[in-house]
Structure 1
């Protein structure tokens, strides 16, 4: 799933728990996020404003990344002229249009790029589907009620591709990475299921079973 790339950027173990082991848990952050997405998740909600068409819950697929998902919002801005590689036509609409993905997040802007890579993955999918290139997208944060413009530069694109490749590698291996405990653990909805302290002790199941089997049994 395309949305999983944000989990991967945040923590490989969190991603694997959700997308390999199918573990999920709600906390206040995930519930608030669901409420924020309620309006954007209607695939039939399509509106037009002056020179802007707003499409919600738009299905996306990227062959390059091997990912599929849903864009919260894609805004199409009408262009006065055709611009090679930048504008596209829309069925039932006149003129040329320049698309920009908009991803909704519940909190505040992050210091890392975990939200930006999800937006970038959406842009890459749109580029493949519409045969254009997209220079910029937007992150809307529910806590600040403000949208942040995100430049989709080569550094961000490279990181996005690397994360997607890592996701496929872990799926193929079928292994959940060990925890990398840090401050981010306090923000994770799966901290109870993850139990990062347990995986950091370095004791394997094989070693544990060997110790248990070597214990002499007292039959008296």
Structure 2
């Protein structure tokens, strides 16, 4: 058990240190697909990320001095990633992972930070580690996290499968493109760009079934001469 944990610590810290050398997008990700069941479990670890700083605020040291060391490093790491300061993000997350590698909020935030830094393969590793710590749960955040990770990696089929899983699991937030845009109104610019890319991919995938030619073909098949 200790050997396995040590391996995970080394792996995640390596990701934190090597992210800047990775190739954005086009990464080879394991193909994980939804199983058709809803993802609705609440997850208290998946909340509380700070919003992007006001102009100039990121230059201040100790933005979150009142928090525990891991929580402070996590929040400052995510804030650095959200404001495109990759080196600071890697340093903060690397330190946090060395202290508490199995902190699920840390791993969740790390995954989103890596998506903001355009590192989908590393983001997937962080999300999977989070999920592995509670394998009996089906957190509500999982479908969109997976959908956007696969979108960033260029795997349209997997991205659409997870987007549909999000819509069926939580129709109020993800049941339509308008709902998805409304839900992500205050997400980071990079996250919203991925959401728009995902919506565009879904629209193009649905387009053939909506075209007049496809409709005429369907009518002809239903009513043969």
Q: Same fold (TM over 0.5)?
A: no
Using structure 2 for the length normalisation, give the TM-score: 0.27
Q: Which has the higher strand share?
A: 1
Give the number of the structure whose residues are more often helix, by fraction. Answer: 2
Give the structure-1-normalised TM-score. 0.27
Name which one, 1 or 2, has greater alpha-carbon Rg: 1
